[in-house]
Amino acid sequence: MDANTFLIQVLNGIQYGLLLFLVASGLTLILGIMGIINLAHGTFYMVGAYLAFSLSQHFGNLWLAMAGGVVIAVVIGLVLEWLLISRLYHRDHLYQVLLTYGLILIFEELRSVVFGDDVHGVAVPEILRVSIPLTETLSYPVYRLWMSAVCLVLAVGMYFLIQKTRLGMIIRAGAANREMVQSLGININLLYRLVFALGVALAAFAGMIAAPVASVFPGMGNQVLIVCFVVVVIGGIGSVKGAMLAAILIGLVDTFGKVISLEIGGVQLLPQLSGMMIYVLMAGVLLARPEGLFGKRA
Amino acid sequence: MSKNQAFHRRGFLKTAIAAAAVAGVVSLPSFAYAQSKIKVGLMLPYTGTYAQLGVAITNGFKMAMSESGGKFGGHELEYFTVDDESSPPKATDNANALVTRDKVDVLVGTVHSGVVMGMVKVARDSGTPLIIPNAGAGAATGSQCAPNIFRTSFTNWQPAYPMGKVLADRGIKKAVTLTWKYGAGIEAIEGFKEGFKKAGGTVVKELFLPFPSVEFQPLLTEIASIKPDAVFVFFAGGGGVKLMKDWQAAGLKGKIGLYGSGFLTDGVLDATGSAADGIETTLHYGDGIETPKNKTFRLNYAKTYKLQPDVYAVQGYDAGLLLVAGLKAVKGDMSKKKEFLSAMEKAKIDSPRGAWTMSKAHNPVQDIYLRKVVNGENKVTGVAQKALADPARGCKM
Amino acid sequence: MAEAVLRTEHLSKHFGGLAAVDNVSLEFFTDQIHAVIGPNGAGKTTLTNLLSGELICTSGSIYLDGADIAGLSADRISQRGVGRSYQKTNIFLPFSVFENCRIAAQSRLNSSMRFIRRALAYREVVREAERALEEVGLEDRAQVPAASLSHGEQRQLEIAMTLATRPRILLLDEPLAGMGGEESAHMVELLQKLKPAHAMLLVEHDMDAVFALADRLTVMVDGRVLESGPPEAIRASAAVQEAYLGADEESHQ
Amino acid sequence: MGKLRPGTIILVVCLLALAVLPWFAEKYYVQLFTKMMIMAIFAMSLDLLVGFTGLVSLGHAAFFGVAGYVLAFAAPEYEAANLWVSLPLAMACSGLLALVIGVLVLRTSGIYFIMVTLAFAQMVFFLFHDTEFGGGADGIYVYAKPVAAIAGWEPFTLENHTHFYFVVLALLVLVYTGLRILLDSLFGRVIVGIRVNEHRMRSLGYRTFRYKLACFVLAGVLAGMAGYFAAAQFGFVNPETLGWHQSGSVLMMVILGGMGTLTGAVVGAFSMILLELGLQGLPAIGGMDLSKHWQLLMGGFIVCAVLLLPHGLLGLGRTASRLRRKPAEARDG
């Protein structure tokens, strides 16, 4: 691998990692702040992608579709929290797992009823439909760079929201002590509802900006979900910083796992087993730091 | 109208007491049926990723049956459908339910290769005739071939192999392959490699992606740095769409030729848009086959189902034609199994894709077309290889 | 004088920049109740957690019978004869009172990796549990679910469970917390009864009980030992008066 | 506690019903019940973790599936494996895998534990999916059912579906009784104590990690037993057998029946499979083929079950009978 290709691969890894971060950040917020494990998180990613598809057809414009999609996602989040999730705070995680597993089935079938099982494409907006030539054969699509930029902006925004604002302070306090926040006269139920809606919106938004490059297809949420779990486990529950670092780490490991050849004792390990790489990484992190890179020790 | 039933009263009543005691289930729907009907078990995906394919196959199959009159020597047809969910762990169980509970005379299915292997297992154990209308797992008509197992579609090897020769004949020497790391992909790549090497080409690198990941970017970067003359891929559905779009966005389109098994561009051209333009693939069917048979088929299908037929509908239709050939030979009397099987073996299927016959291993000997995406259609530009039979390695029959 | 059962030397625990326990050196002897008092946040519970192994100290040492046990896990320290009760009642609520004690007594078997013989068939464990229940006076309530005990009874059960592990030193974190007058008196009586056979650390806010029980008193403020000595000397100390005893009412009610 | 509680009577009646079933039922139903009993063993093994030790594993199918693969490897083409060799081998392999995974995952707890078990099961999934030695994505056959020969003598033959049924029934009873005994042993008391209050167990001097690990391994071994017989019955193993959907559905079985009770796991397994059959067999109503969207109903059912049946089906019965007997006391929860 020459230096040029290597650098491009690093760019690929970071770019993939940033998108993963966007999906995983919602998951880690819901987990860390509300203590809710949400298996349907990947499903919201899928919902976002389908929203981008159907709304952009309706409006004829991806930007409008994204704005509308975020609003719808927030509404979905608020309704779900009010209707179902709010009943789970005092229940074992087990029930959260099951309820959200049920939600996966429901959303997948609803998707099938409403949109069918076709693969759909979403057009990249006109102004971003250009590529920057990097080598004589390879160019880099500007849309991907734009995606990365959006992810970075959101990451910084989230960091400020949580570390520097009053809302963030309350959120952080809520994560530590539900009763304490309640006693301060803050409506914790409303707070949790908003956090859940924010998480759903983040996942859906990730689905929307990924739709033009990923296309829209059944089952697209589930593969994202498990990778996001790995991101959260490596980064540490509730840590946005950890999620960022872990996502980029996974992006790089995944990228290089696919293109590097590794042979030990005559057995081809890579790229044969590249699918396992991120789990091996996770096992390693667990051995060294069971609570994740930036997790709080229980 | 299919009767989709979970339980029959006959068997169910006997176990109802135990079942109710153990699990609290009281009653489930039941249907009475006449003894003389020919029972056809359709085991196809009706939910999940492949639901669309399951529906197309069912449509095609039923169309063939109704065109034939639907009655054989006084025996009517009765359908039993099971949603296989494309879930391999449930495969043998579902197939077994059709065979032992519903006592079907013939099994038809399915799309997913893993699931079809489960069906093959049941067919081999029970001796029930099995017609495979899609899944291309080589083993079904290879190492696992059996007198009662037939396929009306393809092997994964089959559409890929001729592309090797087509490319080499154009003077392409250096190719890279890319697929998901799963059975179908690996078999297709093997087919291409075999054809390409035989015609003098070299595969310089085989790239894989863990299924069902669609993160192509690192692999495209790798391809760009290798600069091969051509890239041969095996993808279908959403993965294929994403590949073609990424390919275009990465600026590889027009610089390095992208070729594939026909599934790459089938049923997804609306989603792909301009990214698919000009991509050439090989398959046993294409949109513009100018034969009267194909024209009638497309017209009738569109009329009946208000849908354009695709390759899956054709395969389902051919599965129907094959069954009709067998049933006609025995006049609907399924007790004459030997005659039934041998009639199917010898059948010449007048398919919309062109006439084809069964190979020794019970896989179609068929023409493979070279197609090119033009204006959102898979236009047939020629025949890549005439009357191609799968080598059926490992078949001892 | 006999050697101390438990001894700490320059024990410190930092949470980030905050020193919750700062350079604390204390000794605990059999037949002696060593009470630790101080305002909230003085580091008393942290100290208890360090001694029981639930927290690992940042620096310093803990000697149990002369052997350094700093850094050992809670279960190992328990096995070496350190028993503790908790400030917030920490029992097995769904279990019967008896089972709470039985599971505590069972911990003294070499191993619980026994898969077949019924747990109740281990007579010595059952006897030990019964003995502990008798000692705290809960024998009549043995078959009741622990959840249905009154608060005071639950505190007693907490002590009984600790006793069932046959500890040589008891770390008692506010055993009187939330108790009524009669219950408190009962508990004071119980602790006095246990004194001859055990070394005891008593963290307590109830000053009457402390002065009734303690043989030795340590006052902690901001993680440091302010004063340590016999109760009379502490009562007389001006520094203590100012820093703690005088402010008692405001800081604790 | 009386000797003849209604629960005991129902249990005995069910057992008798199961024992005589093969004389009344067709082959299909015998096989259906065999499958339900195998899943019941699987569900009990998970219940040991979830319901008794408080470890919510979302990767339990890994041990189920691996045992199936071991059987497939032990039975090369056209040559049946010996039951007495391959079964212990399969269970040992599942146990070994559980040991390795357990050492890692038990370093975490709570939500982490759920996610980490899921992720490790996924890793095993990819190991079988991406490599050719287990047939890759298409899976691998168990060509012949294991032979139960001991030195030429064959007490039963698994090729006969009735024999197979009774072997599985015997194992179900054996596992059930075994776990009952286990739960009443010193070890059993420890794991239940860990579920209720692990922190206190540690401060009482228990090295809880060891007990949790032992429990995790034991659950893995039992899941392996179920997976072995599932593979033997279906004759087919596929990576999806150890996928997370399988783990999710067995977890649903445990909850549906009522976790923390062995009977609940069995009831859950039976009802879940019957429910699935029932939903798939729904007729078309008003132009909408419900059976095509049965997963929608299943999802709805799961959501409702979580919200309305906090203690599972068994809990439902218990609540009902408690309300009938002592209406006054029912208010304290």
Handedness of CA B161, B167, B168, B174 (dihedral sign): negative
Return the structure tokens found at D226.
């179920």
Who among D116, D296, D301 is closest to A109 (CB)? D296
The predicted pLDDT at position A3 comes to: 85
**Count of A–D CB contacts within 8 Å?**
128
Residue A57 maps to a domain: yes
Which of A117, A122, A262, A272 is best to mutate for the B interface (most B CBs within 10 A)? Answer: A117
DSSP string, B40-71: EEEEE--SSTTHHHHHHHHHHHHHHHHHTTSE
**How does DSSP classify residue C40?**
T
**Domain positions in chain B:** 33-154+292-362, 157-283+369-388
Task: State residue B282 phi and psi, 5-degree precision.
Answer: -120, 135
CB contact under 8 A, B218 and A12: yes
CB contact under 8 A, D190 and C103: yes
Within the 189-218 window of chain D, which residues sit less than 8 Å (CB to CB) from chain C? Answer: 189-190, 193, 196-197, 199-208, 210-211, 214
Does the pLDDT value for residue D295 go beyond 90? no
Average pLDDT over chain D, rounded to an integer: 88
CB contact under 8 A, A106 and D105: no
pLDDT confidence tier of residue D1, bands split at 50, 70 and 90: very low
The predicted pLDDT at position D314 comes to: 78
Average pLDDT over chain A, rounded to an integer: 87
Query: Which chains does chain C touch, 3 or more C-beta pairs < 8 A?
Result: D
The stretch B1-29 carries a mean pLDDT of 41
Contacts of B268 in chain A (CB under 8 A): 119
Does the pLDDT value for residue B3 go beyond 70? no
Any CB–CB contact under 8 A between A54 and chain B? no
Residue A111 maps to a domain: yes
Distances (CA, A) of A12 to A252, A259, B208, D15, D244: 8, 12, 17, 60, 29
C interface with D, Cβ–Cβ < 8 A, is: 52, 54, 73-76, 78-79, 84, 90-95, 99, 102-104, 106-109, 112-120, 122, 161, 165
Contacts of C113 in chain D (CB under 8 A): 186-187, 210-211, 214
Does the pLDDT value for residue A176 go beyond 70? no
In angstroms, the CA B107 to CA B334 distance is: 13
Any CB–CB contact under 8 A between A272 and chain B? yes
Contact yes or no for B231/B216 (Cβ under 8 A): no
The Cβ of residue D331 has, within 10 Å, a number of other Cβ atoms equal to: 6
Of D326, D121, D144, D320, which Cα lies nearest the Cα of D240? D121
Name which residue leads in pLDDT, D133 or D53: D53
Contact yes or no for B57/B95 (Cβ under 8 A): no
The predicted pLDDT at position A175 comes to: 64
In angstroms, the CA A250 to CA A256 distance is: 10
Who among A87, A104, A276 is closest to D123 (CB)? A276
Residue A297 maps to a domain: no
Does the pLDDT value for residue B26 go beyond 50? no
CB contact under 8 A, B255 and A118: no
Burial class, B44, CB count within 10 angstroms (exposed 0-12 / middle 13-18 / buried 19+): buried
Does the pLDDT value for residue C253 go beyond 90? no
Is chain B adjacent to chain A, meaning 3+ CB pairs within 8 angstroms? yes
pLDDT confidence tier of residue A178, bands split at 50, 70 and 90: low
The alpha helices in chain B, defined as continuous H runs, are 9-23, 51-67, 91-96, 113-126, 157-169, 183-198, 217-226, 237-249, 269-272, 292-305, 311-330, 337-346
The predicted pLDDT at position D287 comes to: 56
DSSP string, A63-106: HHHHHHHHHHHHHHHHHHHHHTGGGGTTS-HHHHHHHHHHHHHH
pLDDT digits (tens, 9 = 90+) for B196-205: 999 999 999 9
Who among D107, D120, D296 is closest to A290 (CB)? D107
Number of domains making up chain A: 1
Any CB–CB contact under 8 A between B169 and chain A? no
Any CB–CB contact under 8 A between A45 and chain B? no
CB contact under 8 A, D270 and B23: yes
CB contact under 8 A, D185 and C114: yes
CA triple B51-B55-B59, angle to 5 deg:
170
pLDDT confidence tier of residue B19, bands split at 50, 70 and 90: very low
Distances (CA, A) of C159 to B142, C87, C135, C170: 73, 11, 10, 9
Q: Are strands B364-374 and C67-68 parallel, antiparallel or unpaired?
A: unpaired
The stretch A88-104 carries a mean pLDDT of 88
pLDDT digits (tens, 9 = 90+) for A102-161: 999 999 889 988 888 777 888 888 888 888 888 888 888 899 899 999 999 999 998 888
Domain that holds residue A54: 3-288
The answer for residues whose C-beta is within 8 angstroms of residue D304's C-beta and 6 or more apart is: none
pLDDT confidence tier of residue A29, bands split at 50, 70 and 90: confident
Contact yes or no for B129/B148 (Cβ under 8 A): yes
Give the nearest chain B residue to A128 (CA atoms): B249
Query: Selecting from 1.20.1330.10, 3.40.50.2300, 3.40.50.150, 3.40.50.970, what CATH number does the domain B33-154+292-362 have?
Result: 3.40.50.2300
Burial class, B342, CB count within 10 angstroms (exposed 0-12 / middle 13-18 / buried 19+): middle
The Cβ of residue A65 has, within 10 Å, a number of other Cβ atoms equal to: 23
In angstroms, the CA D52 to CA D193 distance is: 9
The stretch A63-87 carries a mean pLDDT of 94
Does the pLDDT value for residue B23 go beyond 60? no
Contacts of B255 in chain A (CB under 8 A): 137
The predicted pLDDT at position D5 comes to: 76
Contacts of D298 in chain A (CB under 8 A): 102, 105
CB contact under 8 A, C90 and D199: yes
Contact yes or no for D41/D72 (Cβ under 8 A): no
Return the structure tokens found at B214.
């669609």
Does the pLDDT value for residue D121 go beyond 80? yes
**Count of C–D CB contacts within 8 Å?**
90
Amino acid at site C45 = T
Contacts of C51 in chain D (CB under 8 A): none
The Cβ of residue C55 has, within 10 Å, a number of other Cβ atoms equal to: 18
The answer for residues whose C-beta is within 8 angstroms of residue D190's C-beta and 6 or more apart is: C103, C106, C112, D201, D206, D211
The stretch C159-165 carries a mean pLDDT of 95
**How does DSSP classify residue C54?**
S
Within the 206-225 window of chain A, which residues sit less than 8 Å (CB to CB) from chain B? Answer: 213-220, 223
Contacts of B219 in chain A (CB under 8 A): 258-259
Name which residue leads in pLDDT, C17 or D32: D32
Amino acid at site A216 = V
In angstroms, the CA C91 to CA C79 distance is: 18
In angstroms, the CA C233 to CA C170 distance is: 24
Contacts of D112 in chain A (CB under 8 A): 233, 237, 290-292
Return the structure tokens found at B28.
């489930």
CB contact under 8 A, A5 and B268: no
Mark A90-114 as b/e (b = at least 16 C-beta within 10 Å). eebbbbbbbbbbbbbbbbbbbbbee
Average pLDDT over chain B, rounded to an integer: 87
Contact yes or no for D54/D225 (Cβ under 8 A): no
Is chain C adjacent to chain D, meaning 3+ CB pairs within 8 angstroms? yes
Does the pLDDT value for residue D285 go beyond 70? no
Residue A294 maps to a domain: no
Name which residue leads in pLDDT, A210 or D319: A210
Give me the residue label for tokens 């529906």: B55
Return the structure tokens found at D18.
């199961």
Any CB–CB contact under 8 A between B396 and chain A? no
The domain made up of B157-283+369-388 has a fold known as Rossmann fold (3.40.50)
In angstroms, the CA B151 to CA B253 distance is: 36
Residues in chain D: 333
pTM: 0.88
What 3-state DSSP class applies to A273? coil
Does the pLDDT value for residue B33 go beyond 50? no
Within the 19-78 window of chain B, which residues sit less than 8 Å (CB to CB) from chain A? Answer: 47-52
Closest approach of D114 to chain A, Cα-based (Å): 9
The predicted pLDDT at position C54 comes to: 92
Query: Which chains does chain D touch, 3 or more C-beta pairs < 8 A?
Result: A, B, C
CB contact under 8 A, D303 and A226: no
**Across A120-124, A224-228, B216-220, D270-274, least confident range:** A120-124
Give the nearest chain C residue to D184 (CA atoms): C118
Give the nearest chain C residue to D178 (CA atoms): C116
Of C16, D250, D116, D259, which Cα lies nearest the Cα of A31? D116
What 3-state DSSP class applies to B185? helix
Of B54, B61, B55, which Cα lies nearest the Cα of B79? B61
What 3-state DSSP class applies to C60? strand
pLDDT digits (tens, 9 = 90+) for A211-268: 888 778 887 888 788 899 999 989 988 888 899 999 999 999 999 988 888 888 777 7
Q: CATH topology of B33-154+292-362 equal to that of B157-283+369-388?
A: yes
Domains of chain C, with CATH numbers?
Answer: 1-81+169-253 (3.40.50.300), 91-166 (no CATH)
CB contact under 8 A, B181 and D295: no
Who among B7, B19, B113 is closest to D281 (CB)? B7
Contacts of C99 in chain D (CB under 8 A): 189
**Across A213-217, B338-342, D26-30, D281-285, least confident range:** D281-285
Which of D49, D124, D307 is best to mutate for the A interface (most A CBs within 10 A)? Answer: D307
Kindly state the percentage of chain C with pLDDT values over 90. 74
Which residues face C32 on adjacent strands?
A: C199
The alpha helices in chain D, defined as continuous H runs, are 6-24, 27-47, 61-74, 83-105, 111-129, 161-184, 186-203, 208-234, 244-257, 262-280, 294-308, 312-325
CB contact under 8 A, D203 and C52: yes
Contacts of C106 in chain D (CB under 8 A): 186, 189-190
In angstroms, the CA B86 to CA D138 distance is: 12
Who among D115, D298, D307 is closest to A233 (CB)? D115
Handedness of CA D213, D217, D218, D219 (dihedral sign): positive
pLDDT confidence tier of residue D319, bands split at 50, 70 and 90: low
